[in-house]
Amino acid sequence: MELKKKLATIFQQFQTEHTFKGFETFNSGHINDTFLILTQEEVNYVLQRINTTVFKKAIDVIHNKIKITQHLSKKGIQTIHFIPTKENSYSLIDNDNHLWNLSEFIENSQTFLKVNANDIAYQAGLITAEFLAQTSDFENDLVETLPNFHSMSFRFQEFQNALNATSKIRKQKAQKWIDFALANKKEMMVLDRAINQKEIRLRVTHNDTKISNILFDTNNKAICMIDLDTVMKGCIHFDYGDALRTICNTTDEDEVNVSAINFNLNYFKNYTEGFLKSLANNISKQEASYLPISIQVMTFIMGLRFLTDYLNNDVYYKTKHSNHNLERANNQFSLVQKIREQQHEINSFVKSTYMSSCH
C-alpha cells in the first residue's frame, strides 16, 4: 500500500488529466524500476525510477531520451512520448532523491522476453536498424551518461581491479572463467582497435538492444525501440552484436545447464536480413566487415561484466542468490564458444546479405 501511495503522489506531479487507479510492475530490467500506471480513465502510462547509483548523470539520461524521441517525432517516426511535470521538467526528484520520468503507454503493444519465431527476429532487425538510420543525422551532442559502457579495455580494467580485490573463495569458484577471460583478451579488443583507428565511425546508438527493449503490436510487427536510458554515441556493432547475443541464445541469461546453450542460426539470419535491409546504404563495407565478430565481442563483454560483478560481491546487477552473477557469466562465455563454432557460416551470411541488401 505504501508503494501505491508513493507512485500515486509522483504520478500526480506530471501533466496528465487522468486519475491514478493502480499499478503493475515491469520485472525485465536489471537496473531501473519501471511501473505501468493504471488510471480511472483507462489511459495507461509508464513511470520509471532511474537508478542513480548506476547512472551518475541521471538528469542527462532523461535529457538524452527527450532529444532523441523529439528528433524521431519530427520525422514522423513512431517513438515514446514523454510527459513533462507540472513545473515543465521531464524529470522529477522525490523526497528520497530518486529521479523519475513518465511516458505514455502505447496501447495494443507487447514485448517479448525471448524470440520464439523467425518473423519476430526479422522485425527486431528492421526496427533496430531503422532507429540507427533515422538517428544517423542527429547533430546535437548527447551526454555520455555511462562512460566507456562498451569499451572492452575499460571493462578489462574493471575486471582486473575486481580480481585483485576479490575474496579467495570467489576467485576459486570463478577460476575457469577468469582464465577464459584473460586468454581471450587480445582477440576481444577488436572493436576498440577499429574505433581508435577510425575504421568504424561513432553515431547515435541504443546500446541495450535486447529483445525486451523492442515494442511490438499485437500482430508481432515492431513498433519502436524502448528503454532509451543508454542512448549515446557508439558504433552500430554494439547494437547489432548485443541484439543477437540475446535473440539467438537458446536459453535464458542465467541458465546453468550448459548443454542447453546454443546460438540459433535461423534467428541470426532473419535478424541480419532485417537489419541490413533497414540500414541499407547507411553502412560502409568496412563497417559491415566487423558485424560478424561483434556478436562474439558483445557476448563476451557481457560475460566479463557479470564475472566482474561476481568478483565485486554483486554490487551492480540485481541478484537472486550468491552465485547468480557467476551463473550468468558461465552462460555468456559458454555462448561465446557456441558462436565460435558457427563463426564461418556467420561470416559468409553477413557478407552475402550485405552485398545483396546494400548495393
Domain boundaries, the chain: 2-107, 118-357
Question: What is d(CA 20, CA 297) in angstroms, rounded to the nearest whole number?
Answer: 44
Q: Regarding beta strands 109-110 and 214-217, do their DSSP bridges make them parallel or antiparallel, or are they unpaired? A: antiparallel
Dihedrals φ, ψ of 100, to 5°?
Answer: -125, 150
What is the pLDDT at residue 1? 59
Q: Does domain 2-107 have CATH number 1.10.3720.10?
A: no
Which DSSP string corresponds to 270-287? Answer: HHHHHHHHHHTTSS-HHH
Identify whether the C-beta of residue 81 lies closer than 8 Å to the C-beta of residue 249: no
Question: What is d(CA 149, CA 143) in angstroms, rounded to the nearest whole number?
Answer: 13
Q: Is the dihedral of CA 326, 327, 330, 336 positive or negative?
A: negative
Q: What end-to-end distance do the CA atoms of the chain give, in Å?
A: 59
What is the pLDDT at residue 64? 94
96-109 as b/e: b if 16+ CB within 10 A: eebbbbbbebbeee
What is the pLDDT at residue 90? 94
What is the pLDDT at residue 55? 74
Dihedrals φ, ψ of 222, to 5°?
Answer: -65, 135
What is the pLDDT at residue 94? 87
Say what the pTM is: 0.91
Identity of the amino acid at 28: S
Q: Give every residue of the chain whose pLDDT is below 70, as ranges.
A: 1, 27-31, 53, 358-359
What are the distances in angstroms from CA 109 to CA 69, 170, 220? 18, 42, 9
Q: Count Cα atoms within 13 angstroms, Cβ side, for 63.
A: 11
Q: Count Cα atoms within 13 angstroms, Cβ side, for 141.
A: 3
Nearest to 320 by CA among 229, 256, 250: 256
Can you identify the CATH homologous superfamily of domain 118-357?
Aminoglycoside phosphotransferase (APH), C-terminal lobe (3.90.1200.10)
Identify whether the C-beta of residue 223 lies closer than 8 Å to the C-beta of residue 215: yes
Strand partners, 9: none
What is the pLDDT at residue 357? 81
What is the pLDDT at residue 359? 62
Q: Regarding beta strands 33-39 and 45-50, do their DSSP bridges make them parallel or antiparallel, or are they unpaired? A: antiparallel
What is the pLDDT at residue 29? 58
